[in-house]
Chains A and B, each alone.
Chain A
Amino acid sequence: MKMRPMLTLEDCKKISAAAEAEAKKNSWNVCIAILDDGGHLLHLARMDGATPANARIAVEKGRTAAETRRSTANWQERVGKRVELLRMPGVTPVQGGLPIVLDGTCVGAVGISGVQSHEDEQIAAAGIKALG
């Protein structure tokens, strides 16, 4: 039997707090979504000033990264070369979603929306780093 690690609510809060701190440090207002490896929402925090659209986009970036086990930046890059990838179901190919990979296993993802896409990804990376 293969055993897989699983994100707990405590893990999610740790990731979310670190991501929020990174955003605050830069005076950015974003939405932070954390999902499990099946794309199910585990935790979400929308900072004051972030829009309703940010809440939806953060979840969709996270879902894409979780279910496909790759960053949404990777999707964005590949869509640029192969436009037909835009028709992939359930894919939001915009930078800002990162899979959470532990010992080669994807346990979920973080999706950020609110500032420029590369800044969104910087926040996601800061969140995941807190997991240790």
Chain B
Amino acid sequence: MLGIRTFTGAACAALLATSAALAQVPPADEKNPNEALPEKHAYTPYGEPIKLDQARKAAEAALAESTKRGWAMCIAVVAPSGDLVYFAKMDDCQYGSIAIAQHKARAAAKFRRPTLVFERLLGRGDYFSYLATLDDVIASRGGNPIVVNGKIIGAIGVSGGTGTQDDVISQAGLKAAQ
């Protein structure tokens, strides 16, 4: 007991000695790419939200591709805010995919990037594990923003197969929306 107290006291004294304001922050790791400060902020702007007919067209193309390949999928199309515009669950698609398809679409819209970005970066390891702590992220491919005339009008999310199967179907829907 005495040993632990002594150690805690010494650790506190050391931290206080370095900087009172940053007492809790560990030192920067120079190899961490997140320490860099980019000059510019590159992103695709949001546009007018996708119309139902457009969303349905994208989903129908995705459904047709799934049927052709014999895969049972869930397809979700959302507005830029991530709110549902169109959804379809194919017969016998797993129940878990109902929520995942919507989540992938929502994340792609809300973060303006394919969910594959999160999957790949998390896969790189420690420096990117913080991504899993961001609100409403899903690190699984199959969610893609729908970009028309340089603007994001919504996103499409697919779930039901493996990640790569989901993404192939998502891309098929994407193509029909453009």
Contact = CB atoms under 8 A, between A and B. Distances in A.
Interface of A: 8-9, 12-13, 40-48, 52, 55-56
Given A52-B83, A55-B83, A45 B89 contact: no
A52 B81 contact: yes
A40 B56 contact: no
B87 interface: yes
Interface stretch (B38-46, B90-98, B163-171): B90-98
A43 B79 contact: no
A62 to B, nearest CB: 12
Contacts of A9: 63, 88-91
Interface string B71-109: 000000001010111111111000100100000000000
B37 to A, nearest CB: 35
Given A40-B95, A55-B83, A48 B51 contact: yes
21 contacts: A9-B63, A9-B90, A9-B91, A12-B88, A40-B89, A40-B98, A41-B89, A41-B98, A42-B89, A44-B86, A45-B52, A45-B85, A46-B52, A46-B84, A46-B85, A46-B86, A52-B79, A52-B81, A52-B83, A55-B83, A56-B83
Contacts of B88: 9, 12-13, 42-44
A9 B91 CA distance: 6
Contact of A8 (B63, B83, B91): B91
Contacts, number: 43
B52 A48 contact: yes
Interface residues of B, number: 17
Contact of A47 (B52, B63, B87, B98): B52
A40 to B, nearest CB: 6
A44 B52 contact: no
A15 to B, nearest CB: 12
Nearest to A10: B91
A42 B63 CA distance: 13
A48 B95 CA distance: 28
A43 B81 contact: no
B84 A55 contact: yes
B153 to A, nearest CB: 12
Given A9-B90, A40-B95, A46-B52, 7 more contacts: A8-B91, A9-B89, A9-B91, A12-B88, A41-B89, A42-B88, A48-B52
A95 to B, nearest CB: 22
Contacts of B84: 44, 46, 55
Contacts of B98: 40-41
B52 A41 contact: no
Nearest to A8: B91
